[in-house]
Chains A and B, each alone.
Chain A
Amino acid sequence: MGFLDALFGGGKKLKGPAPDRIFAMVTAQITMETGLGLKHRNSAGIVFQPLGTADFNQIVKDTEELLRGAAEDTGTTVETHDDEFNYRWVVLRDPDFDDLVQAVNVVSTELSAGGYGDRLLAAVFAFEDDRGKPVFFIYNFKRGKYYPFVPAPGTQARNNEREFQLKAQLENELPIEPELERWFPLWEIPL
């Protein structure tokens, strides 16, 4: 957002996805599993804002077909649903973590290729600690950055201490979002 953009009321479109750093999660997951005692929950999700246009729906449908077609090799299952904020989740389940990251990448690549990369909100990878408490890593497509999200008991409460620990533990392996005011939570993650 340059000075002129601000002066004339901004660009014509939203910022598109940043250069893809999503695959950094593959190595980070190994560290989490072996060093930090965090197991992945065999699931990942990608959340975006559906548009009410015909070609957008077609692209989403095609992407699902593509993933279901590949499922014969990878075993990744796909389901979609809309949440209470009217955002659409594509939930992917697979015991093989590499396949999960790959599938998330397929969704984002397909939407970007269709010209809708700017609609992508986030990808979410779900983990749990040894007591079964969830730990999420959220990938912000526009920033090309990850950040941890650890929900705490209570309405919209989060465990910031744990999140900071995770940042310190993983910042060498994951591109972590440096600005804390951009660590946006996502409530009711269906993973």
Chain B
Amino acid sequence: MKEVLEGSHAVSEAVRLVRAKVISAYPITPQTHIVEALSEYCADGRMDARFICVESEHSAMASCIGAASAGVRTFTASSSHGLALMHELLHWATGARLPIVMAEVNRALGPGWNIWMDQSDSLSQRDTGWIQLYCETAQEVLDTTLQAYRLAETVNLPVMVVLDAFFLSHTYEPVDIPDQQSVDKFLPSYEPRISLDQQNPNAIGQMAPPAYYMEMRHSIQMAMQSVLANFNDVEREFEHVFGRTYGPITPFACDDAEYIFLMAGTSASTCRHAIKTLRNKGHKVGVIKLKMFRPFPYLYVRKSLGNAHKVIVLDRNCSFGAGGIFAQELRAAMYASGNHPQIYSFIAGLGGRDVTVDHFFEMFDYVEKADYPENESVWIGLNHDN
């Protein structure tokens, strides 16, 4: 059934449909609408779940870890400073191999105090061992959340479903909300591989001395390396039931492209508009939307960029002292590839500033004229008179 939903509520609907048993969260803009709706579902009986109110995001994740250790489906959502506060426990969730799913609404970190879209928060958690899936539309948000549970429970790793603040979280779009029966078919009830057991008492996450620790870390990496294949399986199952699929990356007009844009999130939509204009002018331009950032889908990216001369990476984030994070990752990904294109790094749209069609033209003009990329990222849309 199609309904007009804001992106936040697309998440809430998905969490309701997966029959999560424990939801624990602390409100923070722009994430609050997600758990606000879920708290109502818990209160009015639409969900048979425990909503745990906590005093901080640190405790929210701790509650999810506890509940997941007990063997139930859990959910939380956060943003920005809240996610940063969770940092310690994000590592714990991975190390304990708990299939927790979180909605992460991309928001800038202060100061200056800013509640708008920016990728710095999720990318700061790059190395915590969470699978990260970036979304572009409300429908993708709902679908990805459903998939996230199946993926997490298959590989025993936590998943972050990432969506842009306001551009996606607070924008209303028509969304096809699946029926419960179909979701139950796609996602059977959760059978934990490891959980606390009162009949046979155990403690999880005990001390691991040097003789054990390294193997456990290796096990996480092995699991991460299996994610791409498992994600594809999940997508196949999903397509079978719901008829939709997304892929770890989504190329557009890339087959013959000499220039390929690459980015994550909602700005990919704007970019496609710009590309149509550029194509009309005779430029061979395409765009790749990066959905899966962790694990990084090396093979897919290498294959899709194989014929391009120049790649234009848009980062709505900045690793100070090194530049755009997606660009760095892409350069690292392409280094081992025999035939790799030039990779140009642009930073735009921080702290909720619009990334317009004209900005993409500006990037294209720059790249078309350039002989080789600068070391540093180029900043687009700066107000020099500020």
Does A pair with B? no
Which residue numbers of A lie inside 8 Å of B, CB to CB? Answer: none
Residues in B lying within 8 Å of A, measured CB to CB: none
